[in-house]
Every structure is written in structure tokens, then in C-alpha cells.
Amino acid sequence: MNQQPYFSIKANGNEITQRLKDRIVEVEVTQRTGLLSDVCKVRFDNLEEFPIQLPEPGNVLEIAMGYKDGTPDTHAALTPVGKFDVGAYELTGPARALTLYGNSIMWDVDFKSPRFRSWPQQGSETPVTLGDLVAQIASEYGLQSGVSDALRSITLPHLEQSESDMQLLTRLALRYDAVMKVAAGKLLFVTKGSGQSLSGQTVTSATLSKNQIIHWARVSNHYHLVGAVQGFYHDSDQAQRMSVQAGSGAPVIKLPYLYPDEASAQAAADSQLTRLKRAHGAVQLTVPGNPEIVAGALISVDSSVDHLEGDFFITEVTHRLTSTGYISLIKAEQPN
């Protein structure tokens, strides 16, 4: 079998790989667990006698990666790895090159515009759940919503929104230790660190053995080790600041924000403790390129690798294809 790394790039819906493949020096896509955080870089050999047309605002790149088994290019088995707005480009010399930089497609610019409203609406005494809020915002942008079972029924405190929908959802994702992302026409709000899909199934991108890893490193950061996290809220009945705690023992981390009620403060303390525990056991892996490895899923390492056996939650993966080959660089943490 003669597996050759291959890729596809579409510019504004038009395939450009065949026409420019001898001029493309590097293709890189980085996927992260967060909204609008995926980025790409494509570098071209920009010959003086045959300059490449410079991108314009609004240009879109669609990138897929994979392999072909000695077959024609058109028969390559490719996996889409992202769709990007070209937000910037760089020209360099004297070895002339053009590098394009892209960010994940924003499906609606209004998502970043400030909004002013109450949750629930004024006059309504029915509290809003996290699932209700995500569903309403998703519908306003023509998206379906997908919220993990563990998050869907959480009752939110009264919210006065004076920020964009993107900022509001990002803040709530941080409070409840969730991943918020748009994918496949859905606004997703899922439990972070679990590697679970909305169906409740655990998604494992790959299972690796010693001979499938080019390089690995495991970092145990003791600065992230904490015994407990304290959160604070305002008790209107007693007219004073009250505290809640997640975990026990020392050291104790205190959250700086004053939350509106006990449930919100407890959720924030629980989330921070979980994040710090995950970050203590961080790993970095370099493996042969595999477009099926995606941020937000789990990756499993078998017992053939000392100090690394077990499952890890993928926080970031960079797929890099150059003339020297195709590799995937993975950043991961211990799962919840």
C-alpha cells in the first residue's frame, strides 16, 4: 500500500488544489474546544513571474486532509477539517511567499453585536433553564440547539443581558465548564472534558500504541493542584456576602466574582476545580497525520507507552501538511 498525504483546498467554492498544488508549501489547520477558535494557515510559493492573486475581504477557504493509496488525486479519501474566512495575508521575500490566515466562519455577524434583554423576559415568573436559553438563541440565527443532558435542565438566575449573544454564551460556558461551538448547523453546548457527544456516547478519535507516536510529553503542573475553590454570592435575605466551596483541603483558591445566588456560585466553584484538576495532567503528542482526530473528543493510549496509559481529552489539535509529510500535534488533558 502506497499511502501519500493529500489535501484539498477550495477558494470561494472553487477547487484550487490541482492548479496550485506545486505552489502550496504548507497547509495547517488548528482546531480547539471553543467557539470561533479554529484557525488555518496556507503558505504558497509566490513566484515573481507567476504571482498568486491576493485575497479580498470575504474570501472563504474550505480545507480537507487525508491520504491517497497511489490512486489519482481525485480518488483521495479526504476528511473536511474546516471552513475559514481569510482574515489576513502576509507577503515575504526575497524568497517570495504568500501566506493566508483564516478564522472559522462566523455564520452571522449579529452574533457579536451587543443586545439588551432580560432572561426571563420582564413580567414572566417562570425561570429560564440553560437548555431554553441556548435553544432560543440558536433559533434566532437559524440554528438547531444541542445541549448535554447534564446541562440542559440547569435553572439560571435572573440575567440582565447587556452584551452580545456570543459573550453571554461564552460566559455561561465558563461558569458551567462547557464547550460552546457551532458545528453542522447546530449551536452546541456540551460538557467539557467528558469526550461525550450529545447522544451521550463517548467519542474516541483514536487509540494509540507506542509505534504510532512520533513524540510525546506529559507535564504534571503542581501549580494547578488545589484542595478547594471558594465562590461567593450575595444573600439578599441576610444582606451579606456568603461563600460556598468545592473540594476540601489546602490550598484554597477564591473566585473574585460575586455571584447573584448560591447555585451560580457553587457551579462556578465546581467548574474551576474541575478545570484545574484536568490541567494538572496535560499531555502533548505528535502522531502521523490523522484528520479523524478532533478537538473535544478523547484519545486513548495503550499500556505500551510508559506514564501515558489511559484516556485524554483533546483540547487542541493541529493538522500540518508540508513537503516533509503530514503530522497531527495534539494537546490534551486528563478527562473529567
Q: Tens digit of pLDDT per residue, the chain (336 long)? A: 568 899 999 999 999 998 898 899 999 999 988 665 689 999 999 988 888 889 998 899 999 999 987 666 666 789 999 889 998 999 999 989 999 999 887 667 788 899 999 999 887 778 899 999 999 999 999 999 989 888 999 999 889 999 999 999 989 998 898 888 877 678 888 888 777 665 556 677 889 988 999 999 988 777 667 889 999 998 888 888 999 999 998 889 899 989 888 888 998 899 888 888 877 778 999 999 999 999 888 999 988 888 888 889 998 999 999 989 999 999 998 886
CA separation for the pair 202, 265 (Å, rounded): 29
Residues carrying CATH 2.40.30.150, the chain: 206-222+280-333
Could you tell me how many helices (H) and strands (E) the chain has, helices first? 5, 21
Residue 201 grid coordinates: 456516547
CA separation for the pair 218, 301 (Å, rounded): 12
CA separation for the pair 2, 4 (Å, rounded): 6
**CA-closest candidate to residue 7, choices 281, 211, 291, 278:** 291
CA separation for the pair 246, 265 (Å, rounded): 10
pTM attached to this predicted model? 0.83
- In this structure, the number of other CB atoms found within 10 A of the CB of residue 37 comes to 14
Query: How are beta strands 60-69 and 39-45 bridged, if at all?
Result: unpaired
Which single residue is written with the C-alpha cell 492573486? Answer: 53
Three-point CA angle 280, 33, 64, nearest 5°: 130
For residue 169, give the 3-state DSSP assignment. Answer: helix
**What CATH architecture applies to the domain 206-222+280-333?**
Beta Barrel (2.40)
Q: Which CATH code for domain 109-191?
A: 3.55.50.10
Residue type, 102: G
Give me the phi and psi of 67, to 5 degrees please: -140, 160
Residues carrying CATH 3.55.50.10, the chain: 109-191
Displacement of CA 37 from its chain's centroid (Å): 6
Residue 277 grid coordinates: 484538576
